[in-house]
Amino acid sequence: MLKYEDLKDRPREQLAATGLKAEEFDGLLAAFSQAYATTYRGDKTVEGQPRQRQQGGGNKGVLSGDEDKLLFILVYEKTYPLQTLQGLQFGMSQGQVNHWIHRLTPILQATLANLGMTPERDGQALAGNKLANEGGADLIIDGTERRRQRPKASTQQTDHYSGKKKAHTDKNITVVNRQTKKVAYLSSTRPGKTHDKKLADESAIVYPKNTHLGQDTGFQGYAPAHVLSYQPKKRHGDAS
């Protein structure tokens, strides 16, 4: 069963599981704990009713500590597994996983918003976004895909099937600050078959003036205003 106690002294495994280094996890944990305590007061039950016993009494849950709660939701967000598989990793039933995902996702979102770490979702507002301009407007645009369950409807199966990934996927466009490695923009979600350039065009992204924008061949012909586009060269040995 996956526990923070088992990962805290294993930086490589922690990074693989959460996408965060130990110091980044600890910094996020403080704000996450505060947001959780604000939303779920200690004198109330999960249902919002007054507690009949002191907080901490009774059986200990699998996610009893804030560090395990944060680990749980970061692993889910990074790897996006089936809920049954997430349950196998954390010693839960699928129903319990579903409960905790819905309970913790808003807490994580609020935490990131409080820290100013949420990407812009409005393409036309990116030009003035702090994450995009930090260290200079040196950005990279790319399409990202994540696996999803196979849709039941045949038309949806066709739309979501990605020939590149050989799987049914959802797609987003991301714009990342090359200097800080922070995601400055995240597009709306589209079926995996959607072409990268088409989704970028639909997003109507407005970049800061004099932006240097790295893009791969999936954005061939994409030339937004006030932008100097370039295609980064692949390092020797890169598979794709």
* Dist CA 205 CA 227 (whole Å): 11
Name residue 170's amino acid. Answer: D
**Overall residue count recorded for the chain in this entry:** 240
Q: Strand pairing partners for 190?
A: 171
Tens digit of pLDDT for each residue in 176-186?
999 998 999 99
The answer to whether residue 59 scores a pLDDT higher than 60 is no
Span of 12-26, 58-72, 190-204 with lowest mean pLDDT:
58-72
221 Ramachandran zone, left/alpha/beta (phi>0; psi -120 to 50):
left
What per-residue confidence (pLDDT) applies to 173?
A: 95
Burial class (CB in 10 A: 0-12, 13-18, 19+), 100: buried
* Dist CA 189 CA 20 (whole Å): 24
* Dist CA 213 CA 201 (whole Å): 15
The answer to whether residue 237 scores a pLDDT higher than 70 is no
pTM: 0.71
Give the confidence band of 148 by pLDDT, cuts at 50, 70, 90.
confident
What per-residue confidence (pLDDT) applies to 43?
A: 58
Containing 103, the helix (H) or strand (E) segment is helix 94-114
What per-residue confidence (pLDDT) applies to 42?
A: 65
Tens digit of pLDDT for each residue in 80-123?
888 999 999 999 999 999 999 999 999 999 999 999 889 999 99
Own/partner contacts of 229-236, CB < 8 Å, gap of 24 or more, are: 232/140
Tens digit of pLDDT for each residue in 101-113?
999 999 999 999 9
Number of Cβ within 10 Å of residue 215's Cβ equals 23
Question: What is the mean predicted confidence (pLDDT) over 1-25?
Answer: 92
Tens digit of pLDDT for each residue in 188-201?
999 998 999 999 99
